[in-house]
Amino acid sequence: MTISPRTGSEPGPDNSRVGTMVFLMAGSMFFAGLIGAYVVLRYGGPVWPPPGMPPLPVGLAGGSTAVIALSSLALWRAIRALRGLDAPGTRRWLGVAAGLGILFLALQATQWSRLLARGLEFAVTTYGTTFYAFTGVHALHAVSGILWLLVLVWRQRELWVPERRRRSIEAGALYWHFVGAVWVFLYVALYLL
Amino acid sequence: MHWFPEGVSTYSGTVDGLFKLILIVTGVAFVLTEVLLFVFAWIYRRREGRRATYTHGNNTLELIWTIVPAVFLVFLAFASARGWKAIKGSVPMTDEVVTVTGAQFSWEFRYRGADGAFDTPDDVVINDELRLPVGKPVKIRLRSKDVIHSLFLPNFRLKQDAVPGVTIEVWVEPTKTGTYEIACAELCGFGHTTMRGTLFVLSAEEYGAWLAEAQAAVAPPAEPTAGAPGATETPQQAPPA
Amino acid sequence: MSEHETPFIRKYIFSEDHKVIGIQFLFVSLLFMIVGGLLAMLVRWKLGFPDQPVPLGTHLPFLAENEGHIGDDVYNMAFSMHGSVMIFLAIIPILAGAFGNFLIPLMIGARDMAFPKLNMLSFWIGVPGGILMASSFFVEGGAAQTGWTSYPPLAAVEAYTGVGTGQNLWIISVLFLGTASIMGAVNYITTIVNMRAPGMYFFRMPLTIWALFITAVLQLMATPVLASALGMLLFDRTLGTHFFAPTGGGQVLLWQHLFWFYSHPAVYIMILPSMGFVSDILATFARKPIFGYKAMAFSIMGIAGLGFIVWGHHMFQSGMNPALGTAFMASTMVIALPSAIKTFNWLGTLWRGQIHYTPAMMNAMAFVSTFVIGGLSGIFMASTPVDIFIHDTYFIVAHIHYVLFGGTLFGIFAAINYWFPKMFGRMLNQTVNTIHFVLTFIFFNLTFFPMHILGMGGHMRRISDPNLYEFLKPWQPWNEFISINAFLLGATQLLFIANFFWSLFKGKKADRNPWRANTLEWVATSPAPHGNWGDQVPTVYRGPYEFSVPGVAEDYLPQSSPATVPGHAPAGAAARA
pLDDT over 70 at C198, yes or no: yes
Q: Output the pLDDT for position B232.
A: 45
**CA proximity to A92, closest of A82, A103, A105, A104:** A82
> For the sheet containing B178-184, what is the strand order?
B129-133, B197-202, B178-184, B149-153, B158-162
**Inter-chain contact C248–A125, Cβ cutoff 8 Å?**
yes
Q: Output the pLDDT for position B224.
A: 58
pLDDT over 80 at C449, yes or no: yes
Distance in angstroms (rounded) separating the CA atoms of residues C100 and C112? 12
pLDDT over 70 at C2, yes or no: no
Give contacts of C468 with chain B, Cβ < 8 Å: 193-194, 196
**Inter-chain contact B40–C253, Cβ cutoff 8 Å?**
no
pLDDT tens for B101-119 read 999 999 999 999 989 999 9
Give contacts of A44 with chain B, Cβ < 8 Å: 237-238, 240-241
Asked if C141 is an interface residue toward chain B (Cβ–Cβ < 8 A), one would say: no
Q: For chains B and C, count residue pairs whose Cβ atoms are closer than 8 Å.
A: 301
User: What residues have CB less than 8 Å from B63, skipping those under 6 apart?
Assistant: none
Distance in angstroms (rounded) separating the CA atoms of residues B65 and B36? 14
Q: Output the pLDDT for position C11.
A: 85
Asked if A58 is an interface residue toward chain C (Cβ–Cβ < 8 A), one would say: no
pTM (predicted TM-score): 0.94
**What is the nearest CA distance from B222 to chain C, expressed in angstroms?**
32
pLDDT over 80 at C147, yes or no: yes
* A16: in domain: no
HSE-CB for C339 with a 13 A CA cutoff: 28
Q: What is the mean pLDDT of residues C357-381?
A: 98
Q: Output the pLDDT for position C574.
A: 42
Helix (H) or strand (E) holding C518: none
**pLDDT confidence band for C575 (50 / 70 / 90):** very low
> In chain C, what is the straight-line distance between the N-terminal and C-terminal CA atoms, in Å?
33
Interface test with C, best of B14, B62, B172 (most C CBs within 10 A): B62
Asked if B62 is an interface residue toward chain C (Cβ–Cβ < 8 A), one would say: yes
**Inter-chain contact A30–C225, Cβ cutoff 8 Å?**
yes
Distance in angstroms (rounded) separating the CA atoms of residues C466 and C481? 14
Identify residues of A whose CB sits under 8 angstroms from chain B CBs. Answer: 40, 43-46
Q: Output the pLDDT for position B240.
A: 47
**Which member of C185, C223, C242 has the closest CB to residue A126?**
C242
Asked if B240 is an interface residue toward chain A (Cβ–Cβ < 8 A), one would say: yes
pLDDT over 80 at B123, yes or no: yes
**Backbone φ, ψ for residue B159 (5° rounding):** -145, 130
pLDDT over 60 at C514, yes or no: yes
Give contacts of C257 with chain A, Cβ < 8 Å: 36, 40
Contact A143/A151 with Cβ under 8 angstroms?
no
Kindly report which listed range (A22-26, C174-178, C289-293, C534-538) carries the lowest average pLDDT score: C534-538
CATH of B97-217, one of 2.60.40.420, 3.40.50.10860, 3.40.250.10, 3.40.630.30: 2.60.40.420
**Inter-chain contact C548–B62, Cβ cutoff 8 Å?**
no
Give contacts of B241 with chain A, Cβ < 8 Å: 40, 44
**Which member of A3, A5, A30 has the closest CB to residue C228?**
A30
pLDDT tens by residue, chain A, 193 residues: 333 334 444 456 799 999 999 999 999 999 999 999 999 999 998 889 999 999 999 999 999 999 999 999 999 999 999 999 999 999 999 999 999 999 999 999 999 999 999 999 999 999 999 999 999 999 999 999 999 999 999 999 999 999 999 999 999 999 999 999 999 999 999 999 8
DSSP C347-382: HHHHTT--B---HHHHHHHHHHHHHHHHHHHHHHHH
Give contacts of B237 with chain C, Cβ < 8 Å: 246, 251
Task: For chain C, give the mean pLDDT.
Answer: 96
Q: Output the pLDDT for position A46.
A: 85
Distance in angstroms (rounded) separating the CA atoms of residues B167 and B165? 7
Task: Report the chain B residue with the minimal C-alpha distance to residue C333.
Answer: B73
Distance in angstroms (rounded) separating the CA atoms of residues C304 and C431? 37
How buried is B225 (Cβ within 10 angstroms: 0-12 exposed, 13-18 middle, 19+ buried)? exposed
Where are the domains positioned within chain C? 17-522
Task: Report the chain A residue with the minimal C-alpha distance to residue B239.
Answer: A44
* A162: in domain: yes
pLDDT over 70 at C256, yes or no: yes
Handedness of CA C335, C341, C347, C350 (dihedral sign): negative
Give contacts of C386 with chain B, Cβ < 8 Å: 15, 18-19, 22, 80
Contact C38/C54 with Cβ under 8 angstroms?
no
Q: What percent of chain C has pLDDT over 90?
A: 95
Give contacts of C324 with chain B, Cβ < 8 Å: 241
Q: Output the pLDDT for position C317.
A: 98
Task: For chain A, give the mean pLDDT.
Answer: 93
Q: Output the pLDDT for position A118.
A: 95
pLDDT tens for C297-341 read 999 999 999 999 999 999 999 999 999 999 999 999 999 999 999
Q: Output the pLDDT for position A9.
A: 45
**CA proximity to B240, closest of A36, C152, C323, A44:** A44
* A79: in domain: yes
**Inter-chain contact C576–A6, Cβ cutoff 8 Å?**
yes
pLDDT over 60 at C505, yes or no: yes
Report the CATH number that the domain containing residue A102 is assigned in CATH: 1.20.120.80
Handedness of CA B75, B78, B83, B88 (dihedral sign): positive
Yes or no: domain C17-522 corresponds to CATH 3.40.30.10: no
Q: Output the pLDDT for position B241.
A: 46
* A157: in domain: yes
Does the bond joining B105 to the residue before it have cis omega, within 30 degrees of 0? yes
- Number of domains observed in the structure of chain A: 1
Which chains have 3 or more CB–CB distances shorter than 8 Å to chain C? Answer: A, B
pLDDT tens for C24-60 read 999 999 999 999 999 999 999 999 999 999 999 999 9
**Which member of C160, C321, C550 has the closest CB to residue B147?**
C160
**Which member of B70, B87, B191 has the closest CB to residue C72?**
B191
Helix (H) or strand (E) holding C40: helix C18-48
**Inter-chain contact C194–A18, Cβ cutoff 8 Å?**
yes
Which structural domain range is residue A124 located in?
A: 62-192
**Inter-chain contact A125–C257, Cβ cutoff 8 Å?**
no
* DSSP reduced 3-state for B155: helix
Q: Output the pLDDT for position A13.
A: 74
Q: Does the interface predicted TM-score (ipTM) exceed 0.85?
A: yes
Task: For chain B, give the mean pLDDT.
Answer: 92
Helices (H), C198-321: 207-238, 252-269, 272-286, 293-306
**What is the nearest CA distance from C453 to chain A, expressed in angstroms?**
38
**Inter-chain contact A36–C258, Cβ cutoff 8 Å?**
yes
* A33: in domain: no
Asked if B91 is an interface residue toward chain C (Cβ–Cβ < 8 A), one would say: no
Q: What is the mean pLDDT of residues C354-374?
A: 98
Give contacts of C251 with chain A, Cβ < 8 Å: 40-41, 44-45
Compute, in degrees rounded to 10, the torsion defined by CA atoms B108, B112, B115, B119. Answer: 30
Where are the domains positioned within chain B? 12-44+57-89, 97-217
Q: Output the pLDDT for position A40.
A: 96
Q: Output the pLDDT for position B31.
A: 98
Asked if C3 is an interface residue toward chain B (Cβ–Cβ < 8 A), one would say: no
Task: Report the chain B residue with the minimal C-alpha distance to residue A44.
Answer: B238
Contact C550/C567 with Cβ under 8 angstroms?
no
